[in-house]
Structures are given as C-alpha cells and as structure tokens.
Amino acid sequence: MPIFEFRCLQCGKLFEKLFLDQQAEIELKCPRCGADSLDRVISRANPVMGTKGKKTTLTTKSCSPGSSCMTLEVPGAGD
C-alpha cells in the first residue's frame, strides 16, 4: 500500500495518508488545523509498490484561490 507522509506548513503536524487507488482524487489537508498547505515528506524507502513504471498523478480537490493546487507525481517502482 502506498503511504505518503506529509507535513503541514501551517502547524507542522506530521501525518500519513494511505492511497488505496493508484489514481485517485483525494482531499489532502491537515488533520489538526485543516490547512491544505502541505509538504510531501519522503520517509519511506519504498512507498509505491506494484505500479510497474506507471506514473501516477494524484490531484487534490482542495484547490482554492490564492493557493496552488497540489499535484503529486508518483513514479512507479520501475521495471
């Protein structure tokens, strides 16, 4: 299961997000303060499995004026 770790830029809260689908529209926001200004934290050696080189793009729903939408490009595990 691909698990990504994020850090809230507002309050510094660290949290993990589990992505069940390879391509999914998800809502990413801080569980503590609700901010959508997040930093992707690379903490796992192998966060993505079974994608076989397919590039997965995760786009958050939380696109608001004044703040850029977050798009995550997740490279596959490779061949």
Q: Which is nearer to Zn ion, 15 or 56 (CB)?
A: 15
Contact 6, 17 (CB under 8 A): yes
Q: In the complex, what is the shortest distance from the CB of residue 64 to Zn ion, in angstroms, rounded to a whole number?
A: 15
- Tokens of residue 16, six digits: 């993990």
Positions touching Zn ion (CB under 5 A) are 8, 10-11, 13, 30, 32-33, 35
Residue 30 exposed, middle or buried by CB count within 10 Å (0-12, 13-18, 19+) = buried
Q: Which is nearer to Zn ion, 41 or 49 (CB)?
A: 41
Q: Which is nearer to Zn ion, 35 or 77 (CB)?
A: 35
